[in-house]
Amino acid sequence: MPSQIPLVQLDRTLYDLYSIDGGDPNEVAHVLALAPPNGSASSSLPENLKYTFQSPMAPNLDNGIFARICLGNGSQNHAFMAGPIQLYLFDIDPPEHDVINGTVESPPAHHTDAQRNYNALVSSQRPRLSFIQNPNRFKPNKGVKASPYPPLDFLDNHPTVVSQDAHYRLMSKRDLALSGLPTPKTQVIEGRLSPTEALDDTLVEAEAQRIIQAVRDRSTPFVIKFPQSLAGQGVFVVRDEATKANRIRLLELEVPRMIRRLTPDNAHLQPVSLLLQDCVDGDTRNQSIFVTRSGRAEFVSTAEQFLDAEGIWRASILDYKRQGELEQMYRGVIDKVAAYVHSKGFYGPMGCDVMTDSKGNQYVVDLNVRLTGDYMMGPLRGHFYARRGLRYSYLITPLAVLGNRDRFEQRFEKELTEGRMVIVGWARGKKGKHEYSICSVVIGGKDHEHVLELADRVNAIALPKPEQTQP
């Protein structure tokens, strides 16, 4: 990193948050992998067979790119405000081009990328970083409990902050609908097959059609939700019959796939269901909170999220001047959320999406009981607003660009040296001999126009987004 780029000092870190209300940050280790939609994107992390997820709208990408999105850039980004706690990321297989030509980097590119990313922080706020090459040889320090994102099969053999079964259910949209928290009215279509029956193709197809028939019978508008999906990839707003017909074609592929992943090990977690929810128009904001060891909700920030035409999360914007007002506005609902997750044994960082309708009613539309992609934006208040007068921050992730970090930093040297841009995740890869990078940046602006002007310049150099998987 060029010396003229200022080091970033966060207002507080996870280490600080774990320390309050009798907590001990030295008892916690974060293990981050961001579940790859293809199951396994690198030899370091086998596919989850117990804790399953649905990603029907994942883009058509190869495992090398997914590894750099999920295990590289995404995991770094989520942990940018970890502070000096133990952080475990996963190794990424080297590019095929480098293996064939004997040019594999040593130390590995993903190690140097991650270390460079955290070296952008003041030294006292850098995580104690380790990489997992083989989960079977994972040995956390004595007395340390893992806090994973997401729940990972191999961690069932290790102590965790909250039991992984409970954690998985806390992340389930099915369980949220049945939680007693204020949510839009939801029809839960439960799976009825046993694990043994899920091995019979005839029974699976019949069960899938039974579930999908409820979608055919539902009048528009409504929202379809799979029970476990990330970044909105299993949530669909259906406003008309044409959209419904299109989504039914996708369901005819994904619902049988979901059913076939039912096993004796996960049947008690009820991973097979489909949710049909009333379509409530309103303003949705993401609440980043920290649930303390005693169960209190510590407010971190409120951000507005930008979704694409398919409803998939693409960016977040945060207004630092309004954070006190927004905390008061959402305090009631975040206290309810904290009490609920704490009753299941959870404490630590999390997010929840809250929608407010035209009458002022607030609904919890998603629980993200784990580190979220925009969690670091609140603690960047001092960096952007207090010290540089930049009222807004804007997160872009994942951003795919040609070349490496040096090239990117040269292009945006002015913005980086002014502290107006902070890189919070970076992972290099290759397609053939051509180098590309997957990254995350947070940019600051005095007003909406100022921040979006820079966002447009950043997005202008992005590689074209691939098509989503379609039936």
Question: What's the confidence (pLDDT) of residue 56?
Answer: 87
Would you call 121 helix, strand, or coil by DSSP? Answer: strand
pLDDT of amino acid 313: 66
Q: What is the pLDDT of residue 445?
A: 97
Task: Collapse the DSSP code of 87 into the 3-class scheme (helix H, G, I; strand E, B; otherwise coil) and give the result.
Answer: strand
According to the model, what pLDDT value does residue 37 have? 81
pLDDT value, residue 210: 98
Is-contact 203 26, C-beta < 8 A? Answer: no
Collapsing DSSP states into helix, strand and coil, what is residue 278? strand
b/e map 142-165, b = 16+ CB within 10 Å: eebebbbbbbbbbbeebebbbebb
Q: Which of 384, 391, 374 is nearest to 450 (CA)?
A: 391
Q: Could you report the average pLDDT of every consecutive run of 10 residues in the chain (471 residues)?
A: 84 98 97 86 94 87 93 97 98 95 95 98 98 95 94 96 98 97 98 98 98 98 93 86 96 97 98 96 93 98 78 81 98 98 98 95 96 96 98 96 97 97 98 95 96 96 71 45
Cα separation, 411 vs 437, whole angstroms: 14
The predicted structure's pLDDT at residue 282: 87
CATH class of the domain comprising 185-278:
alpha beta
Beta carbons within 8 Å of 433's beta carbon, 6+ residues apart: 97
Structural tokens at position 25: 């940050």
Size of the chain, expressed as the number of residues it contains: 471
Supply 183's token pair: 């949510």
List the one residue out of 303, 308, 443, 445 whose CA is nearest residue 373: 303
Rounded (10°) angle between helices 201-217 and 241-260: 150
Give the pLDDT of residue 391: 98
If residue 460 lies in a helix (H) or strand (E), which one and from where to where?
A: helix 448-460
Residues 395 and 180: their CA atoms lie apart, in Å, by 32
Torsion angle defined by CA atoms of residues 404, 405, 409 and 411, in that order, rounded to the nearest 10 degrees:
20
CB 177 within 8 A of CB 188: yes
CB 67 within 8 A of CB 92: yes
- Using CA of residue 53, residue 58, residue 62, residue 64, what is the dihedral sign? negative
Q: Which of 115, 114, 101, 93 is nearest to 44 (CA)?
A: 93
Q: H or E stretch including 300?
A: strand 297-307
| CB-CB contact of 334 with 313 (8 Å) | no
Cα–Cα separations (whole angstroms), residue 63 to 76, 151, 234, 355: 18, 20, 20, 35
State the Cα angle at 9 between 439 and 117, rounded to 5°.
Answer: 25
| The pLDDT value given to residue 182 | 98
CATH 3.30.1490.20 domain locations along the chain: 185-278
User: For residue 471, what pLDDT is reported?
Assistant: 45
| φ/ψ of residue 236, rounded to 5 | -135, 125
